[in-house]
Structure 1
Amino acid sequence: MSEVVNVFASYAPELLNALILTLEVTFLSFAIGLAGGVAIAISRASTPKPIKILITAFVELVRGTPMVVQLFFIYYALPSIGIKLDPFTASVFAMGLNSAVYQSEYWRTAIGSIPKTQWEAAYSLGLSTFGVLANVVLPQALRIAIPLLSNELIYLLKFSSIAYFVALPELVYTGKWIASKTFAYIEIYTIIAIFYIVITMILSEILVRLEKKLSIPGITIKRI
């Protein structure tokens, strides 16, 4: 254990910078996924059939391919048509896009759990469809979906390691770089594992407290 401490002390600035970058990728991709997930869920529920078919096809395409393949496509293939993204932007975009598809399913489930009587009551008050969604349905759906969204955030934290493949200096990439210099592979990967475990525990505790505070009695979605 003393060797782990010594290695951390020697490379603490590099590791902490990598941790910050990992968290930036995680939270930005989650935010993109949150906005995209709501948009996809609403579009699949309220747009004409041809558009629904296109959106559904897109969802199935993303769900049916590994996230790392999507990252490679965005980072390596898009430059061939003039779209070149740096490793950070490509990683955030790929993870956000993937997350949006999965979050859209969570939102569909949460929106579907809102009783139809609430929609009807809101319409009877003269609210438009947008007004019903913004003021009645989505606020409740968010509270219902918190357990699933919490899981998604934790998944994204761990999936952020795929940015290693495009040379983004997040935790795994930085750890490998340090290990290649010091040959302290066990110590470095032990430190990285501890980082992930601690951050996951902190996020889980915060999200559980938020879930309890905002939960709707009698309406809930269990964590996976």
Structure 2
Amino acid sequence: MTTAAPARALPAAKATTGTALAGADLAGIRTVPRRHPMRWVLAAGALVLFAQFAHGLIVNPGWDWPTFAKYFTATSIAHALWTTVRLTAWGTALGFLLGGLLAAARLSANPVLGVLAWGYVWLFRSIPLIVQILFWFNISYLYNSVGFGVPFGPALFHVDVNSTINGTTAAVVALSLHQAAYAAEIIRGGIAAVDAGQREAAEALGVPRVQQTLRIVLPQAMRGILPNAVNEIVNLFKGTSIVSVVAISELFYQVQIIYGRNGRVVPLLMVATVWYLVLTTLLTIAQHYVERHFARSVGRASPASPWQKARDRWAGLVRAARA
């Protein structure tokens, strides 16, 4: 029987010499960062387009910036802006409160609650918001008063609909009910995205059901709920302009009244546009810090802010250009 000869190990001196030669060969190689010329071409083109747009904003007399400056902080605009903020706040608070109850009903094991919640979401997502506002504004055509008491029995007291439902009330009711349908699906989707094993582990440890929801499920679900919820609030900010159909003096309605008198359409539209941009920016900043709060459970370091990301990206580009 023949046996293979054992492999001979290289002498230590030869191995050391080979490593030194390989290191010497690598040391002689000059490393050059990869070039990205198209990135700079695209960046230059984008900057040129931006500069042209900014130049048109400055030199085109049609923008009428003196009129814009005159009305941007006018008292009537400030009151209308406050009305827009109040409508958005009421619609958001009541909409997400009702949406949370609807989401809980859809996730419950009760089939009756599940079907009714699904029907609510289907109905209010199908009807345009302007139709809902006009319906609640004209609800007195159907009911002059609403009684509260024993179901199908005597009423203990009545509420006069004509004196209760005005333009603002109708707008708040319509915005809240409309927002609740979308908020229910956002909350339900965020909760459903949490791994079911989290709740099973909590039940195995004997954690009460309420504590499971508040301390385990919701903090994780908020990471999926928050971005979509902020999008809905931004849409509600802009959607409040539709309540002008019932003559509520919100921001866009007030702007329409002013340019209807002086004919300066473009600068007054810019007033509304810039205020919407300001409100959306403030909401986006708040969203960032709330997301940082709920992201602490998935990372040791807080996520960088948009300003920090842009600064780091710009520093990287500068280093690459110098290299």
| 2:99/2:187 contact within 8 Å kept | yes
Match of 1:221 in 2: none
Structure 1 residues 173-222: Cα deviation after superposition (integer angstroms, max 9, x where no partner)? 1111222222222221121111112221222122123223322539xxxx
Counterpart check, 1:16 vs 2:78:
yes
Q: Does 1:102 align with 2:182?
A: yes
Which fold has the larger relative contact order, with Cα–Cα distance below 8 Å and residues 6 or more apart in sequence?
1
Distance 1:136 1:5, change over 3 A: same
Match of 1:179 in 2: 259
Q: Which amino acid aligns with 2:232?
A: E
**Equivalent position amino acid for 2:212 in 1:** V
**Partner Cα separation in structure 2 for residue 8 and residue 149 of structure 1:** 29
AA aligned to 1:190 is M
In structure 1, the partner of 2:192 is: 112
Residue 298 of structure 2 is aligned to residue 217 of structure 1: yes
Distance 1:200 1:207 in 2: 10
Q: Say what the alpha-carbon RMSD is for the aligned residues.
A: 1.9
Counterpart AA for 1:119: R
**One of 139, 159, 165 as aligned partner of 1:85:** 165
The alpha carbon displacement at 1:51 in A equals: 2.5
SS of the residue 1:114 aligns to = coil
**69-78 vs 15-24, which moves further:** 69-78
| Structure 1 residues 1-224: aligned runs within 5 Å | 1-8=65-72, 12-78=74-140, 80-81=142-143, 82=145, 83=161, 84-215=164-295, 216-217=297-298
What is the aligned-residue identity percentage? Answer: 28
Q: More helix per residue: 1 or 2? A: 1
| Rounded Cα–Cα distance in structure 2 between residues aligned with 1:31 and 1:6 | 34
Letter of the 1:63 counterpart = R
- Unpaired runs of at least 5, structure 2: 1-64, 146-160, 300-323
**CA offsets 1:71-106 (integer angstroms, 9 cap, x no match):** 111111255313341222221221111111101111
The count of residues paired between Structure 1 and Structure 2 equals 216
Paired letter, 1:2: P
Gaps of 5+ in 1: 219-224
1:222 match? none
User: Any idea what the Cα deviations from partners look like across 1:113-148, whole Å, max 9, x if unmatched?
Assistant: 111111112223334434422332223322431111
Q: Secondary structure at the match of 2:293?
A: helix
4+ residue segments displaced more than 4 Å? none
TM-score, structure 1 as length reference:
0.88
Give secondary structure in 1 for the equivalent of 2:101: helix
Cα pair 2:80 2:250 within 8 Å, conserved:
yes
**In the TM superposition, what is the alpha-carbon distance from 1:40 to its structure 2 partner?**
0.6
Deviates more, 1:66-75 or 1:198-207: 198-207
> Does structure 1 retain, via aligned residues, the 8 Å contact 2:222–2:294?
no
Mapped partners of 2:277, 2:241: distance in 1: 14
